[in-house]
Amino acid sequence: MAISLMADAFEGKIEYLQIMDEKGNADQSLMPKDLSDSRILDMYKYMVLARAADAKTLSLQRQGRAATYAPLVGEEATQIGSALAMRQKDIFVPNFRQHGVYLARGTPPEALFLYWRGYEEGSSLPREFGALPIIVPVSTQMPHGAGMAMAQKYLKTGAAVVVYVGDGGTSEGDFYEALNFAGVWKAPLVTIIENNQWAISVPRRDQTAAKTLAQKAMAAGVPGMQVDGNDVLAVYKATKDAIESSAYGPQVIECVTYRMSMHTTADDPTKYRSDAEVEAWKKKDPILRVRLYLEKKGLWDDAKQKALEEEQSKFIDDAVDKAEKFVPDPKSMFSNVYSYMPQVLQHELDDALKAGFWQGDSK
Amino acid sequence: MKANMVTAINNALELSMKENDRIVLLGEDIGKDGGVFRVTEGLQAKFGESRVMDTPLAESGILGASIGMALAGMHPVPEVQFAGFMFLGFSQLINHASRYRSRTRSIYPVPMVVRTPVSGGVRTLEHHSDSPEAYYSHIGGLIVVEPSTPYDAKGLMIKALRMNDPVVFLEPTKLYRLFKEDIPDDMYEVPIGKAKLLSEGSDLSIITYGTMAPLVKDVVAKKKVSADVLDLRTINPLDEEAILASARKTGRVIIVHEASMSFGVGAEIAARIAENAIFELKAPVMRVASPSFPYPMPGYEKYYIPNELKVSQAIDHIMAVQD
At residue B136, does pLDDT exceed 60? yes
Tell whether B27 is within 8 A of chain A (Cβ): no
Which residue, among B305, B288, B300, has the nearest Cα to B126 in the 3D structure?
A: B300
On whether any CB of chain B is under 8 Å from the CB of A91, the answer is: yes
- By CB atoms closer than 10 A (0-12, 13-18, 19+), residue B79 is buried
Question: Which residue is closest to B164 within chain A, CA to CA?
Answer: A339
**In sequence order, what are the beta bridge partners of B290?**
B260
Of A205, A235, A222, A226, nearest to A80 (Cα)? Answer: A235
Nearest-Cα distance to chain A for B111, in Å, is: 10
Q: What HEC string does A139-173 produce? A: CCCHHHHHHHHHHHHHHCCCCCEEEEEECHHHHCH
Please judge whether B64 and A137 are an interchain contact, meaning their C-beta atoms are less than 8 angstroms apart: no
Residue pair B318/B286 in contact (Cβ under 8 Å)? The answer is yes
Contact status of B95 with chain A (Cβ, < 8 Å): yes
- Across B76-97, average pLDDT: 98
Q: Rg of the Cα trace of chain A?
A: 22
Q: Is the pLDDT of residue A14 over 90?
A: yes
Taking CB atoms and an 8 Å limit, are A154 and B109 in contact across chains?
no
Q: Where are the domains of chain A?
A: 34-265+273-326, 328-363
Four-way CATH pick for B196-320: 2.60.120.560, 3.40.630.30, 3.40.50.920, 3.40.190.10 = 3.40.50.920
Site from A90, A124, A129, A144 to mutate, B interface, most B CB atoms within 10 angstroms: A144
pLDDT at A5: 57
What's the whole-number mean pLDDT along residues A64-86? 97
CA-nearest residue of chain A to B59? A177
pLDDT at A357: 84
Q: Do A332 and B105 touch (CB under 8 A)?
A: yes
pLDDT for the residue numbered A10: 78
pLDDT of residue B322: 83
Q: What is the pLDDT of residues A104-148, one digit of tens each?
A: 999 999 999 999 999 999 999 999 999 999 999 999 999 999 999
> What is the structure's pLDDT at A363?
42
Out of 3.40.50.150, 2.102.10.10, 3.40.50.970, 2.60.290.11, which CATH number does the structure's domain B2-182 have?
A: 3.40.50.970
Distances (CA, A) of B2 to A105, A335, B117, B315: 55, 40, 22, 33
DSSP category for residue A357: T
Task: Name the pLDDT band for A164 (thresholds 50, 70, 90).
Answer: very high
Can you list the alpha helix ranges (DSSP code H) found in chain B?
A: 5-19, 43-47, 59-71, 90-91, 100-103, 133-138, 150-160, 212-223, 240-250, 265-277, 301-304, 308-320
Mean pLDDT, chain A, whole residue set:
95
- The model's confidence at residue A361, banded by pLDDT at 50, 70 and 90, is low
A328 touches chain B (CB under 8 A): no
**What stretch of H or E contains B2?**
strand B2-3
pLDDT of residue A360: 64
Q: Which residue of A has its CA nearest to B89?
A: A174
- Residues, chain B: 323
How distant, in Å, are the alpha carbons of A76, A194, A261, B317 from that of A302?
Answer: 21, 31, 26, 88
d(CA A348, CA A327): 22
Chain A contact present for B68, CB below 8 A = yes
Write out pLDDT tens, residues B159-208. Answer: 999 999 999 999 999 999 999 999 999 999 999 999 999 999 999 999 99
Q: The domain A34-265+273-326: what is its CATH number?
A: 3.40.50.970
**Cβ–Cβ of A338/B165 closer than 8 Å?**
yes
Report domain extents, chain B: 2-182, 196-320
Q: Under an 8 A CB cutoff, do B69 and A336 touch? A: no
Residues of B in contact with A152 (CB under 8 A): 72
B2-182 and B196-320 share one fold: yes
Supply φ then ψ for residue B234, to 5 degrees.
-105, 125
Cβ <8 Å between A155 and B103? no
d(CA A13, CA A16): 10
Question: Whole-angstrom Cα distance, residue B172 to residue B193?
Answer: 18
What is the pLDDT confidence band of residue A202, given thresholds at 50, 70 and 90?
very high
Restricting to B residues 170-229, those with a Cβ less than 8 Å away from any Cβ of A are 193
CB pair distance less than 8 Å for B67 and A338: no
* H helix runs in B48-88, sequence order: 59-71
